[in-house]
Amino acid sequence: MKRFEEDIRKANRIGITGHVRPDGDCTSSCLALYNYLQENYNADRTKTIDLHLEPIAEPFRFLTSSNCIQSDYKDEEPYDLFFALDCGSLDRLGAAQYYAMQAKKTVNIDHHISNTGFASVTLMVSDSSSTCEVLYDLFDVDKISKATAEALYLGIVHDTGVFKHSNTTEKTMAIAGKLITLGATPNKIIDETFYQKTFVQNQVLGRCLLESILLLDGKIIVSSISKRAQNFYNVVPSDLDGVIDQLRITKGVEVAIFLREDDVQEYKVSMRSNGIVDVSKIAVFFGGGGHILAAGCSMKGSLHDVINNLTIGIEHQLKNAEKC
Ligand code: 5GP
Ligand code: MN
Ligand code: MN
């Protein structure tokens, strides 16, 4: 942690957070940093280190210190040092953005190409598979405990889709290998936190696939789930996490879109590209962000209008690519 060594040593009050609706990389990077700081910089417990994060998905709760997560926003004395992880813009921090704004120094560690540079210090590595990979580079390997290794490994597994997305590099694999040596258990983490689905998660996945449609000669696949259907199955947003990945691997598809109705005529948009289209550009245009091949945003309007507005941008990029 050489780069932030002095800041950490000087700080009495340190806060850590990640983005709203924490995914595997967000949850793990926050827990990995929390464990690393507690173990290596706070052995005498003289510092206050707080971890603020929205409630995490059930399969991640085995990670060490997940019981230390504080999910209720409280009026806190300003932090001397505040880490915002896996998050490219202030609004994505949800209620925790107020801690970030009040902190004496905010450090943003991230890998989103759409990063807005909202923090006092930004460490954004867009070609890194995950924020966990960025953190691994910051950490002193000799000081990574089994608990921290497990968290870092889980984050890398989730953001690379189990080492299959194009963000998986030789370096990513080497880091994952080292994390196994340090105590991470691949079979448990991959099966129990990534592939395993509850009965209802499988049912909803099936329904979303059944109701998917192809547009633009099969280059775009779209599916959506209404609020009513989510209530019927009694699912929370994280129950829908695998849907977009399954849509993306449909043969012939360039872009997959999944729309989750959050409120009347309000949709959370997930997009995945197979290479030609930069979906982060489309997400940023509609006020969101992400990576070139995986991005998202929130949009208002009828389902028809939302799909139409997204596909205009995608079609435009596909046509431009054809010209070259
Ligand atoms: P997902 O589709 O899995 O929710 O998100 C894909 C990627 O896009 C993630 O890296 C996520 O952080 C980013 N992303 C998703 N939704 C939003 C959004 O509303 N705003 C921003 N800035 N990024 C988003
Ligand atoms: Mn994330
Ligand atoms: Mn990430």
Q: Examine the pLDDT at 92 and tell me if it is beyond 90.
A: yes
Question: What would the mean pLDDT of 15-29 be, rounded to a whole number?
Answer: 98
Closest-CA residue, ligand 1 atom 6, reads: 295
Query: Ligand 1 pocket, 284 CB below 6 A?
Result: no
- The mean pLDDT of the chain is 97
Centroid of ligand 2 to alpha carbon of 323 (angstroms)? 34
DSSP states along 139-206: S-GGG--HHHHHHHHHHHHHHTTTTTSTT--HHHHHHHHHHHHTT--HHHHIIIIII---HHHHHHHH
In this structure, are 272 and 134 located in the same domain? no
H helix count then E strand count, the chain? 12, 12
Last residue of a domain, one of 146, 161, 195: 195
Distance of alpha carbon 70 from alpha carbon 301, whole angstroms: 34
Query: Ligand 1 pocket, 29 CB below 6 A?
Result: no
Centroid of ligand 1 to alpha carbon of 296 (angstroms)? 4
**Domain at 237, CATH number:** 3.10.310.30
| Angle subtended by helix axes 146-159 and 24-41, to nearest 10 | 160
Last residue of a domain, one of 169, 195, 221: 195
Query: Ligand 1 pocket, 126 CB below 6 A?
Result: no
Instruction: Specify whether the CB–CB gap between 115 and 107 falls below 8 A.
Output: no
Record the tokens describing residue 322, joined without a space.
């054809």
Q: What is the pLDDT of residue 105?
A: 98
Query: Ligand 1 pocket, 290 CB below 6 A?
Result: yes
In this structure, are 215 and 297 located in the same domain? yes
In this structure, are 179 and 150 located in the same domain? yes
Phi, psi of 224 (to 5 degrees): -150, 160
- In this predicted model, what pLDDT tens digit does every residue of 151-202 receive, in sequence order? 999 999 999 999 999 999 999 999 999 999 999 999 999 999 999 999 999 9
In this structure, are 18 and 69 located in the same domain? yes
| Residue 307 belongs to domain spanning | 199-323
- Return the best residue to mutate from 112, 224, 271 for the ligand 1 pocket (most ligand atoms within 8 A of CB): 112
Q: Which ligand is nearest to the CA of 129?
A: 3
Confidence of residue 76 (pLDDT cuts 50, 70, 90): confident
- In this predicted model, what pLDDT tens digit does every residue of 134-150 receive, in sequence order? 999 999 999 999 999 99
Question: What would the mean pLDDT of 306-311 be, rounded to a whole number?
Answer: 98
Last residue of a domain, one of 149, 171, 195: 195
Closest-CA residue, ligand 1 atom 23, reads: 289
Q: Examine the pLDDT at 119 and tell me if it is beyond 80.
A: yes
In this structure, are 28 and 118 located in the same domain? yes
Whole-number CA gyration radius for the chain: 20
Centroid of ligand 2 to alpha carbon of 136 (angstroms)? 16
Amino acid making up residue 213: I
In this structure, are 214 and 295 located in the same domain? yes
Provide the residues around ligand 2 (an ion) whose CB is within 5 A.
23, 25-26, 86
In this structure, are 41 and 112 located in the same domain? yes
Phi, psi of 177 (to 5 degrees): -60, -45
In this structure, are 229 and 113 located in the same domain? no
Instruction: Specify whether the CB–CB gap between 298 and 288 falls below 8 A.
Output: yes
ipTM here: 0.98
- In this predicted model, what pLDDT tens digit does every residue of 218-272 receive, in sequence order? 999 999 999 999 999 999 999 999 999 999 999 999 999 999 999 999 999 999 9
- Return the best residue to mutate from 92, 225, 241, 248 for the ligand 1 pocket (most ligand atoms within 8 A of CB): 92
Record the tokens describing residue 168, joined without a space.
């998986």
Q: Which ligand is nearest to the CA of 132?
A: 3
Query: Ligand 1 pocket, 155 CB below 6 A?
Result: no
Centroid of ligand 3 to alpha carbon of 73 (angstroms)? 23
Q: Percent of the chain having pLDDT more than 70? A: 100
**Domain at 147, CATH number:** 3.90.1640.10
Question: What would the mean pLDDT of 295-316 be, rounded to a whole number?
Answer: 98
Q: Examine the pLDDT at 90 and tell me if it is beyond 90.
A: yes
Strands, E, within the chain: which ranges?
13-18, 48-52, 69-70, 81-85, 106-110, 121-124, 213-215, 220-225, 255-263, 266-273, 289-290, 294-300
Q: What is the pLDDT of residue 1?
A: 84
In this structure, are 160 and 214 located in the same domain? no
In this structure, are 204 and 277 located in the same domain? yes
Number of structural domains the chain divides into: 2
In this structure, are 24 and 129 located in the same domain? yes
Cα 206 to its chain centre, rounded Å, is 24
In this structure, are 12 and 152 located in the same domain? yes
- In this predicted model, what pLDDT tens digit does every residue of 191-223 receive, in sequence order? 999 999 999 999 999 999 999 999 999 999 999
- Which letter does DSSP use for residue 54 in this model? P
Q: 294-301: which pairs have CB atoms within 8 A and are 24 or more residues apart?
A: 294/165, 294/270, 295/114, 295/271, 296/268, 296/269, 296/270, 296/271, 297/269, 298/262, 298/266, 298/267, 298/268, 298/269, 299/266, 299/267, 299/269, 300/265, 300/266, 300/267, 301/265, 301/267
